[in-house]
Amino acid sequence: MFVLENGAKKGEDPRLQAISEAIRVVPHFPKQGIMFQDITTLLLDHNAFKDAVGIFVDRYRDMDISVVAGVEARGFIFGSSIALGIGAKFVPLCKAGKLPGEVISEKYVLEYGTDCLELHVGAVESSERVIIIDDLVATGGTLSAAIRLLERAGAEVVECACVIGLSDLKVRCKLNGKPLYILLEPRQIENGF
């Protein structure tokens, strides 16, 4: 299941328009051909940021979610806010070597190499219902690793959610059948390429 909140119906919810407009698009960053979706400008607009978090809170408030897992680093920003809003605990999923104490790890493949996510042992309990939050999904590799990591820890991953995401079939296939909820497709700018 893939749910794109705004898609072609961008005008249906005025909050989505304001959220989209608050995200700066930086052409050719970090390399030629990339249209970087910079959410730091969204964070500067407290109304747009509050609305983005509010849409997620509205979605998850009544879904019996006990854990919000945020992917380092921008997933921490949205995830912790959503966790507060729905009364759930927040669990950070960090890059290798960033968490003190005992951890479990999940390696995954990137376009240009490999990476790893880690979770504190005992951070989630068996059968806890979890949503995974990140700012952007492009290929689904990081979210898939997060799903595997949390499921190895005994959690029930209910859904993955991102502020920005591609509505590409390849992304959906990599999420192990888990639903993907996104607010916005990446915004393009005129004369960007």
Q: Catalytic positions, please? A: 74, 111
Give which of 46, 121, 116, 128 is closest to 81, Cα–Cα.
46
Q: Count, in order, helices (H) and strands (E) of the chain.
A: 6, 10
**Please, where are the H alpha helices in the chain?**
14-22, 40-44, 46-60, 74-86, 141-152, 169-173
CA dist 118 and 140 (Å) reads 17
CA dist 14 and 143 (Å) reads 28
Please give the structure tokens belonging to residue 61.
């408030």
SS3 for 150-164 is: HHHCCCEEEEEEEEE
Contact 19, 52 (CB under 8 A): yes
Residue 185 is given by DSSP the state P
